[in-house]
Structure 1
Amino acid sequence: MNQPVKAVDEKFCSECGAVIKAKAEICPKCGVRQMNPPAAINLGPVASNGKSRIAAALFAFFLGGFGGHKFYLGQVGLGIVYLLFCWTFIPAIIAFVEFILFLTMSDEKFNQKYGQA
């Protein structure tokens, strides 16, 4: 089977597979508009274990009453405690304080505290 070869500045059409220029918005062969690859969401610097301070803050804000941020950071025991006491709303209050702490914490301090793999 003869496979088409593409150069560095070329790509394959997402519809017909023809070799087209990498910057082409529309395939000249089939006329289908080419979609750009989805842009990655940047949540700031990440720790060595792949955890992000901003992601932890968002988990604390939205799922903190259920311990979502604790599970995300690998603190499963504390996450279970948050789940057990979520009906008291005390974990939600603590999670809101932790949300503020995550936002004000430096990336270096976050990496020291939560960056272990």
Structure 2
Amino acid sequence: MASDTDTTKTETVYCHNCGEQIDAAAELCPHCGVRQRPPPSAVDDKRLVAALLAILLGSFGAHKFYLGRTKVGILYLLFFWTGLPGLVGIVEGALYLSKSREEFEAKYAERDR
């Protein structure tokens, strides 16, 4: 009869900053202290919300405020009466949806502006 030993392994990944092996569920790297990327579903959710805001409320720059680009959002608000930000918002919404998760994350999700 085999002994009941705990053979469950914890899933590990590599830190995207220092390259050390860390637990996959770790929010911060214990070696360098850098916050790890959000899980894919969080990025996908952010991409979908940004796209819907761009399509539905693009005239007012809601998607720009959501993505942390406040100055551009204010510019959209200043010119909303022309209708041009609404057209640009529809195009940007389609672009957000057409980007892969990695492309969206690199361009918008990790931006600190």
TM-score over 0.5 for the pair: yes
Indicate whether 1:63 and 2:57 are aligned: yes
Mapped pair 1:46 → 2:49: no
User: Structure 1 residues 57, 98: closer, same or farther in 2, change over 3 A?
Assistant: same
- Report the TM-score when normalising by structure 2: 0.59
Aligned partner of 1:99 in structure 2 is 93
- Aligned length in residues: 72
Structure 1 residue ranges (4+ consecutive) displaced by more than 3 angstroms after TM superposition: none
Alpha-carbon deviations, 1:18-58, whole Å to 9, x = none? xxxxxxxxxxxxxxxxxxxxxxxxxx7223xx971001001
The residue number in structure 1 matching 2:73 is: 79
Tell me the distance in 1 between the aligned counterparts of 2:102 and 2:41.
10
TM-superposed deviation, 1:103: 1.0
Structure number having the greater helix percentage: 2
* Unmatched 5+ stretches in structure 2: 1-39
Q: State how 1:12-23 maps to structure 2 within 5 Å.
A: none
Letter in 1 for 2:42: V
2:108 to 95, 110, 114: 114
CA RMSD of aligned residues (A): 1.8
The amino acid across from 1:90 in the alignment is L
In structure 1, distance between residues paired with 2:99 and 2:73? 21
Distance in structure 2 (CA, Å) of the matches to 1:112 and 1:61: 21
Give 1:64 shift.
0.6
